[in-house]
A and B are shown apart, each in its own frame.
Chain A
Amino acid sequence: MKKIILGILAAGLLLFGGCSKKESGGTAAVDWNKTDFKGEQLNLLTWEQYADKSFVEPFEQKYNCKINATFFASGDDLLAKLKAGGGSTYDIISPSGDMAGYLVDAGMLEPVDVSHISAWNDIPAAFKRSDVQKDGLVYGVPYLWGPDYVMYNADVIKKPVESWNELWDPQYKGRLALHDDISNIYMIGKMLGRDAADEQALYDMSDADLAYAKDKLSTLNKSIRKYWSTGGELENLFMNKEIDIAVGWPSTLKNLQDQGMNMGWCIPKEGCTGWFDRLMIVKGSKHIQLATLWIDWCTSAQGEALGSIATTFSVSNPKAADYMNDDQKKVAMVSGMDQFFKTINFWSYVKNREAYNEIWTDVKTAK
């Protein structure tokens, strides 16, 4: 018996030893012209929209590699998955502004060598935000972005929606869906106009404002049919006619329109918040070269165009326009994108995230 146990232990040690040996493998000089990554796998941890085969397959073919995608449903979900998996499980992440700065500060990223990102100089300076730069190193490359806006079934709601306040209209009782996320609290801050002087104010709201947001959102509960957690879930809610109106993303709107639904949308007059996604490499990633090539491809004119066409999100590389038709450019608001970029208050890292999260749980358990 003892022998068996010893055997098991020895086998375990060998296993662990084997692993650690692999990890500490030396870094040979990198050949950036290499195109054959046979047997290598690149693991993405992304929003569900960012693994469309229209841009995944060309990359897989060009570099003879395999791309695996795991999806996250919110910034916090990303963090939880990243903490559990880390660089041995994921190579690339695409956080929005609410998490990006935190990940940089927490030291969970590898810097990106922008000399190998061919589109770097085409990306407007305003897009290269300081929250993902530290000690002269760049940790995130601007990718796609867009608004959190109001969308509705135009067959049911004939009058265009103009203000966030209309969500509280009793006529939508039981017909409304919101994202199961603290971004609803930003929305209340936006309605209060708290960001008039300082954009960041929405992400550092006072206790009084947070209490107000809790009460205000709690009164919305009776109108809520469901809090959605993925774009796909929201799509189903609209398709099954469970809801008529929601706060959501342009990609969902596009999918619903593709399926023949008559949808309306608006950015309410108070303005809106939105997300701005950067591509990043996870600390300890074992495929840094391939990851860098992936970022290079995704942010290239063609890569961003394909991403935008698949999602209707806006681009950060203006040259993507060369690969899009007029319709696609219009949907993604490529012309005048600098102006559009300025109208959105992009999610930023919330220092007191725990308080925001607690307020959000309180709203969902309000009696």
Chain B
Amino acid sequence: MKYGILAPVVIWLILFLIIPYFNLLMYSFWKNGAFAVEHVFTLGNYTKFFSVKRGSSAPVWVLLDTFRIALTVTVCAVVISYPLAYFINFGIKNAKFKKMFYMLAIIPLWISYVMKAYSWTIILGTHGLLNSFLMWARITDKPVGMFLYNDFSVIIAMVNIYVPFVLMPMYTSLEQIPKNLIDASEDLGCNSVRTFFKVVFPLSLPGVITGATYAFTLSMGDFLAPQLLGGATSSTKIANIVQLQFGTSNNWPYGAAIGVIILMLILILLALTGKMEKHFSKLDTEGEKA
């Protein structure tokens, strides 16, 4: 009876986590028939993923390409979010303004994803805002087509969409740094740059890692931004290939296999970043003891 209170959670986990993942794993070893999935064991879905075809990218290369995009998005999002989080936390003294700025940075989360993605077509388009500005400023005399429908526009939209996800954990970890540590560092003769690199940055690392992990995993699985903002060869990322298998290509077992492969990759990544986070949090407490 003591554990009764856990029952809803356990039922939830079984229904919405364990059964679906188990199902996914089973499907990935089944064969795709003409009209339905045949329950015959095969490794074909996995070998197909790694086999290379002439003149085009094997799915595994698309995966690596997606990796590259996700990494770029992560770096950009971290580089943008960190100064912002730092500024909101340390730059604004008034608590009311601090809260307001934080809300302003988070508000984009309330806007629909598709709307944000489409807005970029208005900004980056051939006759969009950016081109109008460049022509007005006489930087170019003809509209530039290279802003939209390529990897550039895909990355920009994803950075825009995922910055709040990175900002939140970063802000939280910066907020939790005791002010007296910074005062102590300054009392002991460190200038603000040294204080930042010796005290603030190491203590905020767990937040940075969490934020970066969010950005990376979310952009790995994003199929909408590439589809809406990608061009001829930049509209197909790994998530689009998975989507294709469950949609137009109608090959669920193959889609499940790719899903399992991505899942494994992400789990390895989470294990690594989890370890890193623990490592840096340990530094935290050691620092406090000292």
Residues of A whose CB lies within 8 Å of any CB of B are 1-2, 4-5, 74, 76-77, 79-80, 83, 105-106, 174, 180, 214-215, 218, 220-222, 224-227, 229, 240-242, 353-354, 357-358, 361-367
Residues of B whose CB lies within 8 Å of any CB of A are 1, 4-5, 7, 11, 32, 35, 53, 55-57, 61-62, 121, 125-128, 145, 148-149, 227, 231-233, 235-236, 241, 244, 246-251
Main secondary structure of the interface of A (DSSP, over half): helix
A218 to B66, CA, bound (A): 20
User: Which of A106, A225, A227, A354 lies in contact with B251, CB distance below 8 A?
Assistant: A354
A221 to B232, CA, bound (A): 6
Report whether A221 and B233 are in contact in the complex, using a CB–CB cutoff of 8 Å: yes
A220 to B11, CA, bound (A): 52
Report whether A77 and B145 are in contact in the complex, using a CB–CB cutoff of 8 Å: no
Report whether A214 and B250 are in contact in the complex, using a CB–CB cutoff of 8 Å: no
Q: Which residues of A contact B11 (CB under 8 A)?
A: 5
Report whether A224 and B232 are in contact in the complex, using a CB–CB cutoff of 8 Å: yes
Give 30 pairs: A residue, B residue, CB < 8 Å, sorted on A.
Answer: A1-B4, A1-B7, A4-B7, A76-B248, A80-B247, A80-B248, A80-B250, A180-B235, A218-B55, A221-B233, A224-B232, A225-B231, A240-B125, A240-B128, A354-B249, A357-B249, A358-B249, A361-B236, A361-B249, A362-B53, A363-B56, A364-B233, A364-B236, A365-B56, A365-B61, A365-B233, A365-B236, A366-B56, A366-B57, A366-B233
Report whether B127 and A361 are in contact in the complex, using a CB–CB cutoff of 8 Å: no
How many whole Å from B237's CB to the nearest CB in chain A? 9
How many whole Å from B198's CB to the nearest CB in chain A? 46
Q: Which residues of B contact A361 (CB under 8 A)?
A: 236, 241, 244, 249
Report whether A214 and B236 are in contact in the complex, using a CB–CB cutoff of 8 Å: no
A222 to B145, CA, bound (A): 13
Q: Which residues of B contact A221 (CB under 8 A)?
A: 232-233
Report whether B241 and A222 are in contact in the complex, using a CB–CB cutoff of 8 Å: no
Report whether A364 and B121 are in contact in the complex, using a CB–CB cutoff of 8 Å: no
Q: Which residues of B contact A364 (CB under 8 A)?
A: 232-233, 235-236
Report whether A224 and B127 are in contact in the complex, using a CB–CB cutoff of 8 Å: no
Report whether B1 and A1 are in contact in the complex, using a CB–CB cutoff of 8 Å: yes
Q: Which residues of A contact B126 (CB under 8 A)?
A: 240-242
Report whether B149 and A225 are in contact in the complex, using a CB–CB cutoff of 8 Å: yes
Report whether B247 and A226 are in contact in the complex, using a CB–CB cutoff of 8 Å: no
Q: Which residues of A contact B241 (CB under 8 A)?
A: 361
